[in-house]
Amino acid sequence: MSAPSPFTLLWLQAASCGGCANAALDADPPLFLQGERLGVRTLWHPMLSAENGADLQNLLDRIGAGREPLDALVVEGAVLRGPAGSGRFQMAPGLERPMADLLRDLAGVARHVVAVGSCAAFGGVAATPGSVTEAAGLQFDGVRAGGLLPEDWRGKGGLPVINIAGCAPHPGWIVETLMALAEGTLAPADLDAFNRPRFFADHLAHHGCNRNEYYEFKASAQAPGQQGCLMENLGCKATQAPGDCNRRRWNGIGSCTNAGFACINCTSPGFTESIGPWQETPKVAGIPVGLPVDMPKAWFVALAALSKSATPNRVRKNALADHVVVPPANRPPGGS
């Protein structure tokens, strides 16, 4: 009995900084280094593959003609459709054709199409207002459905473009999505309204944040480097941002808020269109504009006032320091 065919993937870069490809190489298990052992064969990856020029063109020709099966077309970076819809703002290197045309053709023969990063998913940085590149994601243009591919497009496997959003996405999100596709366990119901896999998108970056005690008491940092909650003054959007970033840390230890940097909600479309500096919270009448999801403004104001009135002195002082200056009270078990 012959062994099952490996799950094949092709990774291409559109208008990209390369951060998503780098993130993927940090994955554990190292899918792109030991993929054959996991039943995955990488046909080409921009940071790992030696083939280029004629060799890459031959590979793409075989895929286009159906002689080389392609289970997953993986794309990072925004698709540049300009000028005037020609796509010539980004030509496929060495192939003498617009990258947009190449991606559209490959999407037509791939079983699945995966957008890695918020640029490939929604347009990201390249689609910031004022850009003349006509940048978009593979199947979303910001919050609007329809990008390079129309809203109703589906791959041969029956799924829309799967958006592993983030700037850059967590390596675990990339590996787990690709492995679910390889095992045939990812269904339309497993994607949210923006086609992000729900195993990470049904969480918020706020979940598991090591600053949550400060958030509960609205004990806020006033300057970078302080331990307090970053939402009130320093622009943190973790209470609005889909992702389990603080439940599974990068490299086992890291996250944006853990490192002292405000969450910028990079997994959502339009995150680059901030109405103010990213490390400054926009406010109206002293109330943050971006409130936690599902939280009515009146409730937030009332709860914030109550929380601040009950803030322990320890929490208040530690919030404005860069280390613990007042430790918790040392009481024996069962003490009052």
Q: What is the pLDDT of residues 41-57, one digit of tens each?
A: 999 999 888 888 889 89
Angle at 17 between CA 195 and CA 264, to 5 degrees: 55
Report d(CA 184, CA 289) in Å as an integer. Answer: 42
Q: What is the pLDDT of residues 90-125, one digit of tens each?
A: 998 877 899 999 999 999 999 999 999 999 999 999
Q: What are phi and psi of 61, to 5 degrees?
A: -65, -40
User: What single-letter DSSP state applies at residue 14?
Assistant: S
Domains of the chain with bracketed CATH: 7-201 (3.40.50.700), 204-324 (4.10.480.10)
- Residue labelled with tokens 């005037």: 84
Please name the residue ranges forming H helices in the chain.
Answer: 19-25, 54-64, 99-107, 118-122, 171-183, 198-201, 212-216, 231-234, 297-309, 313-319
C-beta pairs of 326-332 under 8 Å, 24+ apart in sequence = none
User: What single-letter DSSP state applies at residue 160?
Assistant: -
Q: What is the pLDDT of residue 335?
A: 58
Q: In the chain, which stretches have pLDDT less than 70?
A: 1-3, 275, 334-336
Residues 43, 58 contacting (CB under 8 angstroms):
no
Judge residue 317's burial from the number of C-beta atoms within 10 Å of its C-beta, 0-12 exposed, 13-18 middle, 19 or more buried.
middle
C-alpha distances (whole Å) from 163 to each of 15, 100, 111, 112, 160 are 16, 17, 15, 11, 9
Q: What is the pLDDT of residue 313?
A: 93
Q: What is the pLDDT of residue 37?
A: 76
Name every residue whose Cβ is closer than 8 Å to that of residue 66 and which is 6 or more positions away in sequence: 109
Amino acid at residue number 260 = G
Q: What is the pLDDT of residue 73?
A: 98
SS3 60: helix
Report d(CA 78, CA 90) in Å as an integer. Answer: 10
Name every residue whose Cβ is closer than 8 Å to that of residue 129 and which is 6 or more positions away in sequence: 273
Report d(CA 213, CA 206) in Å as an integer. Answer: 12
Residues 164, 173 contacting (CB under 8 angstroms):
yes
Residues 148, 136 contacting (CB under 8 angstroms):
yes
Helix (H), strand (E) at residue 47: none
pTM of the model: 0.92
Residues 217, 309 contacting (CB under 8 angstroms):
no
